[in-house]
Structure 1
Amino acid sequence: MFKYIKNDLPASIVVFFVALPLCLGIALASGAPLFSGLIAGIIGGIVVGSLSGSNIGVSGPAAGLAAIVLTAIGALGGYQNFLVAVVIGGAIQLLLGFLRAGIIGYYFPSSVIKGMLTGIGIIIILKQIPHFFGMDEDPQGDFAFLQIDGENTLTELLKAINALISGNVSMGATIIAIIAMAILLLWSNVLSNKGKIFQLVQGPLVAVVVGIIFYVTTKGGSLGITDNHLVSVPVPEDFDSFLGQFSFPNFSAITRMDVWITGFTIAIVASLETLLCVEATDKLDPHKNVTPTNRELLAQGTGNIISGFIGGLPITQVIVRSSANIQSGGRTKMSAIIHGFFLLISVILIPKLLNMIPLSVLAAVLFIVGFKLAKPSTFKTMFSLGWKQWVPFIVTILGIVFIDLLWGIGLGLAVGIVVILIKSFQNSHFLHIEGEDVDDGKIKMTLAEEVTFFNKGAILKELDSLPHDSFLELDVRKTRYLDNDIIEILEDFAFKAKERNIDIRLVSERGIVENPHSYIEFFKLDKPKK
């Protein structure tokens, strides 16, 4: 685990600076105590990171669950009742892991996974533009199109544009954001190749330090950054007040059906988000590690049980932190674990120092993350692969940007299924005329290797279009699976063929049968096995 510490330590610092505002922002968007987001981030890093089989995945509170959490806290009558549902959700995830349900993630098309990554990259960029100019007080990490104040992504951008035109922006936040962006680009494109010191000390750390120095030196001046555009970590007065930030489940509510329904909802949504993230991060991983998905469900379930017991939000593996980890050179799970310890130590020892970090600096860091997820070259590549890849890809992106993460994935998957049905319709059989003279009526139909009920429409259409007084040769030698629905279609066609004077020759591995009187009886004897 310590073999690649020179890679994992710098990566963990970057992930820490990305995770800190996201943990706080998601807690705020969820209507939960701010400290609950930090608890989830710490547990996601240390506990889930230790138990997970993923080398580069990072877990923590998920923006995709924020709406569910916000609704559930009110519906269940308080945060402590909600924590019972989080514990139940974790237990259900453990059960799913033992039942080996992790395979579900492999049934999502690659085009949808790539669309998810690109869509999240676009969302990151769009959401950070107002932060970059120091004019948006909404929480970071809110990946839904609609935000908690009734605004949406486009209206916030329009406000940012109007503010830029009118000059009504925070000049201090904007200047330090531009400086931070310059540092990040200089570090990644030039200095990282100049020596080991520039690989050990990462650009985001330098950008954050410069941001703190800028805030301190300009405080109270015309370029000063107001507190509402800084990181906001809860600051306890003493150890007792620190302990007082933890909440504990009210287990007297465990008999309530609505608590169990919420627990099931958390388990299903969190598991789905995690499995999709696992699939996505494995694709991003330059070393092509494969994450054991069932083990990941067990790790996430354990993390959610512990998080729920001590007052934390639900946890999933999350793509923003995971991609930041990959882009920063993380190699093993140590980067996720160390980032969890950084969160724990910082909220105990240096919360006041953390509260001097300008959000615009972190926006610059996330700009880089978002751009690497949504590179223009990705759009070009997917378009060149044809409409079967392009359409699900672009639908997933639009769904994520204009609705939310789960809707985008669901719409992309639905379109992907429609594409499969269309291609299945087209590929169910091959039909061509024998010989050069099309008037001699010799027609040959070769069924595909697997023919299912999806192909009923295509085969019916072709059989019904056969002319009277023709000859059909039906070749099933290549067919390894023939659905009973198709056999019934052939059985019905046998009667129609007699009425239309169509002769049929059935060619199979057993030989040739002229005008079979019963396809059902024939395939009972000779039905190809899958």
Structure 2
Amino acid sequence: MRNKAIYFKTDIQAGVVVFLVALPLCLGIALASGAPLFAGIISGVIGGIVVGALSKSQLSVSGPAAGLTAIVLAAISSLGSYETFLMAVVLAGVFQVILGLVKAGTISNYFPSNVIEGMLTAIGIIIILKQLPHAIGYDVDNEGDFFFIETKTGHNTFSAIVDAVNYSHLGAITITLVSLAILIAFTKVDFLKKLKVVPGALVAVVAGVVLNEVFKASGSSLAISQEHLVNLPMPKSFNDFIGQFSTPDFSSIAKPEVWIVALTIAAVASIETLLCIEAADKLDPLKRYTNSNAELLAQGTGNMLSGLIGGIPMTSVIVRTSANINSGGRTKTATISHGILLLIAVLAIPSVLNKIPLACLAAILLMIGYKLASPKVFMHMWKSGKYQVIPFIVTVVAVVFTDLLEGVAIGLVVSIFFILRANLKLAYFFKREEYHEGEVINIKLAQEVSFLNKAAIKQTLNHLPAGSKVVIDASDTFYIDHDVVQLIRDFLAIGSKDKDIELTLVGFKDDYKMEFSNHVSSN
């Protein structure tokens, strides 16, 4: 890999963009989880600085995850206190470290690429659908709630958009359109594309803040009120700031329900992290691969520390990660810098950040969503054939209409079905009604012939007409299961002679030819 120093400037710019995206998501996910708002910031800071430093991924960004909100909300309620819940978070981190040590992360190698592509596209669509209400000034739903049925309002994604139209705010729409225009200009206008000093997202946010302050100063009805702006906690003193941290109730470690919650968090957080790591590697322009076991170790360490000081659990998060990659992030400098910016923000400039309209941030997320769900992705998958496009489409639809884990599980089932179907189906299957006497029947084997192919091959051989000439071609085959080799050998020895079939083998490796010796001619 090239010297990482050459990416420093673009990494810092990407870190700024990820910070702007992560700030409302940290707050929104904490709110949706029934946890203190500051707990979301703690998780974001640790995810950026600690996990970012320990992770082997150069692109993944960790923080509080939407997929854990329902679990966290239910756990805080059932365990009786937030401090008891924090004990479960610490234990969840311990379990993740154990999973990393036993190399459970290798499960990520078995996620089909069409399902990962479908998950990324679905996340892009969800981002667009969820941000449309925020873009027009309807901020009832929490930032970071990516479930189809919204936990706060009870609406689904589409009915929320309809409601948003009825409560739209012209000022928010204006700021969204201005922000989008700036973001698009930074990707289309040559002069701005070459301008590497500041990222377009930061310019869009500054423009949105200035525009809203002008609206307020002029007494315009376009002015956006505080409930539609970022809402960081603002401690009045240093003691108030320190008071926002919490510690676990260590005496609750003996409670079985704490361990159950810990196991649940560890399992869900680990699966979401592994999915995100696979997605990050797929999006990586430099095509690097991440050690998933090391990632579980990093995540476990982060969750232990987060639980110890009052933060909610974290995972590697697709929204932040894709924002990082799309903004030019190429090394973990971007991830770590976003965590540092979150820390500085809560310490030094919360009053300034509380002037940012959510409409500005919605515009940034809309652009990220579009890049993930670009029409080019659908065209690429369509050209890949039905075995790729059908699981892809199923995953997209399932994730959009359920949630990340359920949708991916459905996509995996469909993908496995097509994998099994492809393995069970021979590249050639003889149809007696299409055969003309004297024709040579060519049976070309696939690249890998497993035991799953045995039934199809047996059926093909049984249907060969008497007196025919048959060529079995293994030129492209690099592996044949022993059961299949035995099946072909038995047919050569007995079946072909019973039907007076002239059989020729082509392209078989020497070790296979030895199995067939004395039974047939081979090339």
The TM-score range, normalised by the shorter chain, is 0.7 to 0.9
List per-residue Cα deviations over 1:53-72 (Å, max 9, x = no partner).
Answer: 22222111111121222222
* 1:370 corresponds to 2:373: no
Structure 1 pair 288–274 and aligned structure 2 pair: CA distance change class (3 A): same
Q: Which residue of 1 aligns with 2:44?
A: 41
Q: 2:114 touches 2:391 (CA, 8 Å); kept in 1? A: yes
What is the TM-score with the length of structure 2 in the denominator?
A: 0.87
Counterpart amino acid of residue 453 in structure 2? N
* 1:93 corresponds to 2:96: yes
**Deviation at residue 463 of structure 1 after TM alignment:** 5.1
Counterpart amino acid of residue 261 in structure 1? I
Residues in 2 aligned to 1:208 and 1:66: alpha-carbon distance in whole angstroms = 27
Residues in 1 aligned to 2:322 and 2:215: alpha-carbon distance in whole angstroms = 33
Aligned pairs (5 A) from 1:3-82: 3-82=6-85
Residues in 2 aligned to 1:77 and 1:428: alpha-carbon distance in whole angstroms = 60
Using the aligned pairs only, state the percent identity.
Answer: 50
Aligned pairs (5 A) from 1:57-456: 57-148=60-151, 149-161=153-165, 163=166, 168-190=167-189, 193=192, 198-219=195-216, 221-427=220-426, 438=437, 450-456=448-454
Q: What is the SS of the residue equivalent to 1:316?
A: strand
Q: What's the Cα RMSD here?
A: 3.1
Residues in 2 aligned to 1:261 and 1:492: alpha-carbon distance in whole angstroms = 55
Residues in 2 aligned to 1:283 and 1:480: alpha-carbon distance in whole angstroms = 28
Q: What is the SS of the residue equivalent to 2:356?
A: coil
Q: What is the SS of the residue equivalent to 2:351?
A: helix
Counterpart amino acid of residue 157 in structure 1? I
Show structure 2 runs of 5+ residues with no match.
506-511
**Deviation at residue 105 of structure 1 after TM alignment:** 1.4
Residues in 2 aligned to 1:9 and 1:26: alpha-carbon distance in whole angstroms = 25
Q: Which residue of 1 aligns with 2:508?
A: none
Residues in 2 aligned to 1:92 and 1:399: alpha-carbon distance in whole angstroms = 29
Q: 1:211 touches 1:358 (CA, 8 Å); kept in 2? A: yes
Q: How many residues align?
A: 502
Structure 1 pair 186–439 and aligned structure 2 pair: CA distance change class (3 A): closer
**Deviation at residue 202 of structure 1 after TM alignment:** 1.5
List per-residue Cα deviations over 1:15-70 (Å, max 9, x = no partner).
Answer: 11000011111111222211111111000000011111222221111111212222
Q: Which residue of 1 aligns with 2:509?
A: none
Q: What is the SS of the residue equivalent to 2:394?
A: helix
**Deviation at residue 391 of structure 1 after TM alignment:** 0.7
Q: 2:46 touches 2:339 (CA, 8 Å); kept in 1? A: yes
Counterpart amino acid of residue 462 in structure 1? T
Residues in 1 aligned to 2:445 and 2:379: alpha-carbon distance in whole angstroms = 36
Structure 1 pair 258–461 and aligned structure 2 pair: CA distance change class (3 A): farther
Structure 1 pair 446–134 and aligned structure 2 pair: CA distance change class (3 A): closer
Q: What is the SS of the residue equivalent to 1:60?
A: strand
**Deviation at residue 410 of structure 1 after TM alignment:** 1.3
Q: Which residue of 2 aligns with 1:522?
A: none
List per-residue Cα deviations over 1:165-218 (Å, max 9, x = no partner).
Answer: xxx4212111111111112222232265475xx311112112212222233332
Residues in 1 aligned to 2:513 and 2:495: alpha-carbon distance in whole angstroms = 23
**Deviation at residue 74 of structure 1 after TM alignment:** 2.0
Residues in 2 aligned to 1:446 and 1:374: alpha-carbon distance in whole angstroms = 38
Q: 2:382 touches 2:389 (CA, 8 Å); kept in 1? A: yes
Q: What is the SS of the residue equivalent to 2:254?
A: coil
What is the TM-score with the length of structure 1 in the denominator?
A: 0.86
Structure 1 range deviating more: 172-181 or 471-480: 471-480
Counterpart amino acid of residue 21 in structure 2? V
